[in-house]
A and B are shown apart, each in its own frame.
Chain A
Amino acid sequence: MDITIKATQGITIAAISGDVDGSTAASLQEQILPLAQTGSKILLDMTHVPYMSSAGLRMLLSLYRKATSVDGKLVLVGLSEEILDTMSITGFLDFFTTCDTVDAGIAALQ
């Protein structure tokens, strides 16, 4: 699992690649949670995440909770069909804005 973080047009874009599961979610969370600052706009690009376990979904929800508590915004981009489906069934999806592409994600945050 890798993560690259860059900023563009006032938006923080974090691109993740690789599986997010119990063994990687904690370190990912350490890198991502600090991005949630007052009013920050975060785009998580998960186009290259083939699998996300329950721990990964919990990490996303923690990030969402932290971001919204400081009036920040969060958009998830490029979720695989299976991850979307799992998130829908387990109720996680209800919390998030999702987009198919990074451009659409940037537009949603602006």
Chain B
Amino acid sequence: MERVDIHPTHQHGQFKLRVGRPLPFGATLVPGGVNFSIFSSVATGCILVLFERHALQPMAEIPFPDEFRIGNVFAMIVFGLDYENIEYGYRIDGPYDPPAGHWCNPSQIVMDPYAKVIGGRDVWGKTPNWDDPYPHRARLAFDDFDWENDRPLEIPPEDQIIYEMHVRSFTRHPSAGVKHPGTFAGIIEKIPYLKELGITSIELMPIYEFDEFENSRPSPVTGETLYNYWGYSTVGFFAPKAGYAATGKFGMQVDEVKNLIKQLHKHGIEVILDVVFNHTAEGNEKGPVISFRGIDNKTYYMLTPEGYYFNFSGCGNTLNCNNPIVRNIVLDCLRYWAAEYHIDGFRFDLASILGRDPWGAPLANPPLLESLAFDPILAHCKLIAEAWDAGGLYQVGTFPAFGRWAEWNGKYRDTVRRFLKGDGGMVGDMAQRLQGSPDLYARAGRGPATSINFITAHDGFTLYDLVSYNVKHNEANGENNNDGSNDNESWNCGVEGETDDPGIIALRQRQMRNAIAMLLVSQGVPMILMGDEVGRTQYGNNNTYCHDNELNWLDWNLLQKNADLFQFVKHCIAFRRAHPVLRHREHFRNHDYMGSGYPDISWHGTQAWHADWSASSRTLAFMLCGKHAKNGSTPDDFIYVAMNMYWEALWFELPRLPVGLQWHVFANTGVAAPGDSCKPGQEPPLADQKGLLLGDRSVTILIGR
């Protein structure tokens, strides 16, 4: 039977109209037309502005008749629109009084916060028309991608190995050799590489539409344009970055992203999005009016009593996340990406902001975080918090988790870096980090996989730079080296930057391997920064947010140059995947509950069964009993790891294995490549089963079977 509501009741010029449905917000394709719905608590009137694609002037402006408003929502169906060629925006009539927090101005066209496709920056780096009256343009999405049988992979959290990646940087370098460099399509061509490396999940730095020209400026050093390259500044939460899509010029970025995800899923690789809900690209009162500010400034942003923007993000404004309206848009956004894009998880940039009340005070039980934790659609999505913000809130270990949230473990990074460079007094802390940081998480009943373990991430030094520079070298950013962290816990191994000294080069190679080995035998979830597996350098720059050049691009020539390192990383990943004892779901109990004669984990030093916990100690060893793997459900081998961060070689006495088992050597970073590691399953037996001489600043991993 034909529905009666597919017939127009109103007309405006050539356009036939009907009262719309208030939900869902945004523009939705309905039979014969498009349903436009937008909320504003302050608007006294609203006009839908329609453009033909790329046209500077609107083709129509259709005021919402009074009877099309329900509550604070304007909703209208417009019939007969060509969905591919329409761009739409709104003029919002209402109070303009910035000190009182109101920024409505019907002379400006504002973008729908629910825009699913955004035009205006269709091709990366193409200079925009600065006179465009509507620079970021909402478009319509068809959302009919043929997923066939795909769905999110739901890899158990403790089995993940995350690879943090910037979409453009991954394949933009000419050496990548892909057909469409720097795009989502480029990543598809590199799936075999990701498979070979062995990671389970890629975490994409922001892919929501952003404006690479935000704060763009010439470099004082080279004159080339500096961009908002990383993209931590959202223009629209529902739209993928068009400039990252080879098909962005055809407006097909939605399909391109979905196809990337489908192809990755086919190869067993999850996709986690780095999402930025703490602020938007509108900046402070000097920033542009793009969307939220001109629609309902007071609802969307945290404002001081004088109408200025609170700046807990360090980026100009702060999204008012615990306002019920804003909470809903965040929830709608994540549900959309989970359901429509099959996203496997989300990493929340400066997530502590999401736990602040509208005046900035931290909440004990933030409703937004609770809503996300218990949401039915997000139920199997990974939720990962960057558990701090730029306003001084640091919540590693105390982030309101509701049994669901994992955290970027900043303490893991700091402890491992200090232990790695040979600081004393780190052994006790290190023992906690290796176990999945039970000191931070166990009391609250949170398991090891709560801890996203990382030594390097996009913020800060790459692994190569961590062992090659004592201090940051950010001159190329044009901020007099004042930007970026000063707290790097790095060590250059003797010379700052590049050197010909073979001893220093060898030590750096060893230190990188030591870091990788520690990361991949730690309980919790390891995260590797793109390129660290081949020794990528940023030449000491620890904050490359603005560089569309070789400071960020992955140079694929490194794969040959540092083939040995790549092999070592690959082996360590394969080793982790082969051994469930490295991937416990629950914390160790520190005793023998399986009757194996060995506790689940035991601590050792140069003497077996006697770890040196003193302040001067720079050695630590531990043994995992395979009978206890995954609570005894998945029998595994014994694993013994010895770490000698002392500057001289030391003899490590080995704990004795049960009769019939022997120690075999999987890795020893004190041995030159290719002898530094072997393919898991092919470990040769250790000549002397009683002990081994471990070189200075070296790590060995043994397997008992």
A residues lining the B interface (CB < 8 Å): 21-23, 53-55, 58, 61, 85-86, 89-92, 95
Min CB distance, A63 to chain B, in Å?
13
B2 cross-chain contacts in A, Cβ below 8 A: none
The answer to whether B84 and A86 touch across the interface, beta carbons within 8 angstroms, is no
The answer to whether B250 and A54 touch across the interface, beta carbons within 8 angstroms, is yes
A85–B258 Cα distance when bound, in Å, is 16
Partner pick for B85 among A22, A89, A92, CB 8 A cutoff: A22
Residues 230-274 of chain B, each 1 if its beta carbon lies under 8 Å from chain A, else 0: 000000000000000011001110011011001100000000000
| B142 adjacent to chain A (CB < 8 Å) | yes
The answer to whether A54 and B259 touch across the interface, beta carbons within 8 angstroms, is no
Min CB distance, B312 to chain A, in Å?
39
| B96 adjacent to chain A (CB < 8 Å) | no
The answer to whether B84 and A21 touch across the interface, beta carbons within 8 angstroms, is yes
| Chain B residue, CB-CB nearest to A64 | B146
Min CB distance, B202 to chain A, in Å?
18
The answer to whether B85 and A86 touch across the interface, beta carbons within 8 angstroms, is no
Min CB distance, B428 to chain A, in Å?
51
The answer to whether A53 and B259 touch across the interface, beta carbons within 8 angstroms, is no
A23 cross-chain contacts in B, Cβ below 8 A: 82, 85
A61–B142 Cα distance when bound, in Å, is 14
The answer to whether B84 and A55 touch across the interface, beta carbons within 8 angstroms, is yes
Partner pick for A89 among B83, B142, B146, B185, CB 8 A cutoff: B185
Question: Which A-B residue pairs are the 5 nearest by beta carbons?
Answer: A91-B259, A22-B84, A90-B255, A89-B185, A22-B82
B251 cross-chain contacts in A, Cβ below 8 A: 54
Residues of B644-670 contacting chain A, CB below 8 A: none
- Bin the interface of chain B by size: 20 to 34
A–B complex contacts, Cβ < 8 Å, 29 sampled: A22-B82, A22-B83, A22-B84, A22-B85, A53-B84, A54-B250, A54-B252, A55-B84, A58-B142, A58-B144, A85-B179, A85-B246, A89-B180, A89-B185, A89-B188, A89-B252, A89-B259, A90-B247, A90-B252, A90-B256, A90-B259, A91-B145, A91-B146, A91-B255, A91-B258, A91-B259, A91-B262, A91-B263, A95-B146
Min CB distance, A87 to chain B, in Å?
10
B residues lining the A interface (CB < 8 Å): 82-85, 142, 144-146, 179-180, 184-185, 188, 246-247, 250-252, 255-256, 258-259, 262-263
A89–B257 Cα distance when bound, in Å, is 9
| Chain B residue, CB-CB nearest to A90 | B255
A58 cross-chain contacts in B, Cβ below 8 A: 142, 144
The answer to whether A54 and B142 touch across the interface, beta carbons within 8 angstroms, is yes
The answer to whether A86 and B146 touch across the interface, beta carbons within 8 angstroms, is no
B85 cross-chain contacts in A, Cβ below 8 A: 22-23
A108–B263 Cα distance when bound, in Å, is 27
A92–B484 Cα distance when bound, in Å, is 43
A36–B85 Cα distance when bound, in Å, is 29
The answer to whether A86 and B250 touch across the interface, beta carbons within 8 angstroms, is yes
B180 cross-chain contacts in A, Cβ below 8 A: 89
Min CB distance, A34 to chain B, in Å?
21
| Chain B residue, CB-CB nearest to A23 | B82
Min CB distance, B85 to chain A, in Å?
6
Partner pick for B146 among A21, A54, A61, CB 8 A cutoff: A61
Min CB distance, A1 to chain B, in Å?
14
A21 cross-chain contacts in B, Cβ below 8 A: 84
B252 cross-chain contacts in A, Cβ below 8 A: 54, 86, 89-90
With A55-B83, A89-B184, A89-B247 given, can you name 18 additional A-B contacts, CB distance below 8 Å?
Answer: A22-B82, A23-B82, A53-B84, A53-B250, A54-B84, A54-B250, A54-B251, A54-B252, A58-B142, A58-B144, A85-B179, A85-B246, A89-B180, A89-B185, A89-B246, A89-B259, A90-B255, A90-B259
A89 cross-chain contacts in B, Cβ below 8 A: 180, 184-185, 188, 246-247, 252, 256, 259
Min CB distance, B323 to chain A, in Å?
36
A95–B142 Cα distance when bound, in Å, is 19
Min CB distance, B329 to chain A, in Å?
26
A90 cross-chain contacts in B, Cβ below 8 A: 247, 252, 255-256, 259
A21–B85 Cα distance when bound, in Å, is 9
A58–B247 Cα distance when bound, in Å, is 15
| Chain B residue, CB-CB nearest to A51 | B250
A61–B144 Cα distance when bound, in Å, is 11
Min CB distance, B429 to chain A, in Å?
47
| Chain A residue, CB-CB nearest to B262 | A91
A47–B360 Cα distance when bound, in Å, is 61
Interface centre among A54, A90, A95 (most CB of B within 10 A): A90
Min CB distance, B141 to chain A, in Å?
10
A86 cross-chain contacts in B, Cβ below 8 A: 247, 250, 252
B258 cross-chain contacts in A, Cβ below 8 A: 91
Interface centre among B188, B252, B263 (most CB of A within 10 A): B252
A22 cross-chain contacts in B, Cβ below 8 A: 82-85
The answer to whether A54 and B82 touch across the interface, beta carbons within 8 angstroms, is no
A89–B179 Cα distance when bound, in Å, is 10
